[in-house]
Every structure is written in C-alpha cells, then in structure tokens.
C-alpha cells in the first residue's frame, strides 16, 4: 500500500490520508454566503485527508469574482460552521483559504465608491467574472503606507472568524497573482517605500500577515500557499496553476529541505505521479483540484485505480446543483464522460 493512503499528522491535526482537495472557485455563494448546496458539496468530498476550501475573501474589498463566499460577516461564519460540522461528521478535516484579490477585481464587485487596491496603480491585463460575464478588471489604486496595517488586521480577524466557524486550519493565499503576490513580484510592485524594492521589503507584507495569523490561531493551525515559515504546512503550486509544470526551472526539493512542516504539492498530478511523489519522500501530501469536481469519492478511485469522471466545463462556474453536487460516487452509477 502506498504511503499516499496512510494517515499523517499535519501541525497538531491527524489526517486520514495524504490526499488534499485543492481550492476550487465555484461561484455559487449568492450575497457572498456559502449555500446549502455547499454543505452537500464539501461533505461529499470529506474522504480527502484535508479539504482546502475555495478561496475566501477576508474583507469586502478583498472580493474580485461574482458569488464567492466571504469570511468577514457573522452570517458567513454561521454558514461555514454548517459546512465544517458536516465535513467533521463525515470524518474529514477542512481548511479555509484566506484571500484578498488585490487588483484582480472589478468595481461592480466592491462596496460603492471603492476601486481595487494593490501594491501598484497599474492595471492588470486580466479578466474577472461579474454579473455581465467575464470583464476586464478595473484599474487599481496603490495602497497607502498607513493602510497596510489594516490589511494585516483583516487577515488576523478572518483567522479568528475561521476558528469560530470550526475550521481545522487556515491557509493564507499568497500565490496566483493576488494581493500578497502583487507585493512579492518585482514585475508588479513598483513602490518606493519599505514595502517595495528589495526582497526583504517586498516580502514584508507576507511576513506580517503570517505572523498575525499564526499569532491569532497558532502556527500549528496555519499554512500558506507559497513560502515556508514555522507553520503547519506549505502548499506549493509547481509551475502555473492549471498550466505547464515547467514555467521556470525551480528546485522545489531544495526548498522542501529548508522547511520542517508538511509539504503539499499541487498542479497536474495524476495517480502515478502522486504515488511516486509521496513514496519517494518528495512530498508529504498531494493536492488534486479538478479531479475532485467530478469525483467526490476521488480517494477511493485513486486507491483502487478506478476510472475517473471528467468535469463539465460549462458548469464549473456559477449555477446550481448541476455539475456541483450531482456527480455520482462510483457505486452510484456509471462514470460520467
């Protein structure tokens, strides 16, 4: 039996196996509140050793896509609590991925009179999902130096709300071109204060956020999608999310050796790659994204080498139960093409 299917303890939390459900934005949270369908969706996938939720904004200004669930209001906490209770009742563990999109947003998705904020005032060449479909993102404004402490506090406050909502972990989203990475990248960050320029300055926001979150809920319950600190886990996207794994040469093994916590790898893994990664010691856990959409029982299918269903692209973003909670487990019917 591969180590992929063996239990593992991450931080101070025991997991039943080393398969992680990666964050998957599904745009099914009207008024930014997780729906009843989300309770079913996450419970169906609770056989994963760990579920990492869809990215979840920390504040009204952190939203950038239509109908994404937040974690900055009491009604959102109550809705997430129903989800974490359902996952725990099914024997699973669940982390929330805390998100601030920065400049990847549109004014129609933000409080009235607000524009996206970033490390820069330069607009991204990107689109986002609004009530009108996919639209160009709006031009941002650069955060003022005195505003940044408030962003850090938003992360800490969201982490507190996450514990109230019953999450086992918090994962800070510091990748994929969103706010924290907008500070990290010298190709985006054009600041001339102590949050721009040198590597130490560009990483300052990430360090402050991670210290604030870990200080709020403990390092053993804190993870990050990017950089190693004294945390429970690091969730690394190898290459470009949903794209090539070899965007740039990078020695992930060398980085892993410098981090004592759990190392979660992600991006385009299939069964054979996952078995090899864990059994060789290259990774402690493997995260799967899209395969979990159409295969709620993905752990069993990987363990028994059963065929995988293919998700329907037209139902990935927005909508109702179709393409969300209606994919059958192996016993429930034939594989859906």
Identify the CA nearest to 230 among candidates 240, 220, 239, 245: 220
Write the CA distances from 331 to 104, 162, 180, 297, 334, integer angstroms: 41, 34, 43, 10, 8
Give the phi and the psi of residue 241 in degrees, each rounded to 5: -50, 120
Query: Cα 28 to the chain's mean position, in Å?
Result: 16
Selected catalytic residue, list 178, 269, 324, 327? 178
Task: Say whether 178 is catalytic.
Answer: yes
Per-position b or e across 200-230, b if 16+ CB within 10 A of its CB: ebbbbbbebbbbbbbebbbbbbbbbbbbbbe
Q: Tokens for 219, please give them.
A: 């390092």
Pairwise CA distance, residues 167 & 171, whole Å: 10
C-alpha to C-alpha distance for 67 and 212, rounded to whole angstroms: 27
Catalytic residues: 178
């Amino acid at each position: 039996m591969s180590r992929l299917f063996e239990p593992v303890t991450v931080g101070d939390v025991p997991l039943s196996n080393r398969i992680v459900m990666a964050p998957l934005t599904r745009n099914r949270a009207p008024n930014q509140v997780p729906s009843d369908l989300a309770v079913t969706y996450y419970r169906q996938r609770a056989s994963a050793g760990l579920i990492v939720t869809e990215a979840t904004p920390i504040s009204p200004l952190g939203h950038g896509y239509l109908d994404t669930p937040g974690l900055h209001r009491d009604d959102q906490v109550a809705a997430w609590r129903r989800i974490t209770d359902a996952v725990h009742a099914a024997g699973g563990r669940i982390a929330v991925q805390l998100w601030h999109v920065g400049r990847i947003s549109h004014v129609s998705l933000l409080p009235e009179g607000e524009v996206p904020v970033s490390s820069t005032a330069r607009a991204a060449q990107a689109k986002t999902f609004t009530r009108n479909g996919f639209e160009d993102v709006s031009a941002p404004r650069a955060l003022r130096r005195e505003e940044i402490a408030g962003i850090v506090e938003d992360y800490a406050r969201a982490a507190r709300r996450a514990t109230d909502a019953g999450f086992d972990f918090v994962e800070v989203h510091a990748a994929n071109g969103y706010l924290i990475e907008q500070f990290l990248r010298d190709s985006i960050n054009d600041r001339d204060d102590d949050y721009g320029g040198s590597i130490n300055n560009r990483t300052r926001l990430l360090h402050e956020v991670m210290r604030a979150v870990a200080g709020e809920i403990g390092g053993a319950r804190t993870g990050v999608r990017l950089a190693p600190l004294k945390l429970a886990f690091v969730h690394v996207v190898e290459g470009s999310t949903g794209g090539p794994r070899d965007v740039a040469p990078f020695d992930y093994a060398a980085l892993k050796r410098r981090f004592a916590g759990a190392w979660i790898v992600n991006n385009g893994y299939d069964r054979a790659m996952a078995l090899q990664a864990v059994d060789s010691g290259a990774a402690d856990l493997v995260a799967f994204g899209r395969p979990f959409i159409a295969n709620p029982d993905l752990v069993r299918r990987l363990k028994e080498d059963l065929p995988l269903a293919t998700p329907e692209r037209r139902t990935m973003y927005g909508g109702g139960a179709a393409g969300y909670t209606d994919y059958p487990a192996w016993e429930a019917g034939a594989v859906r093409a």
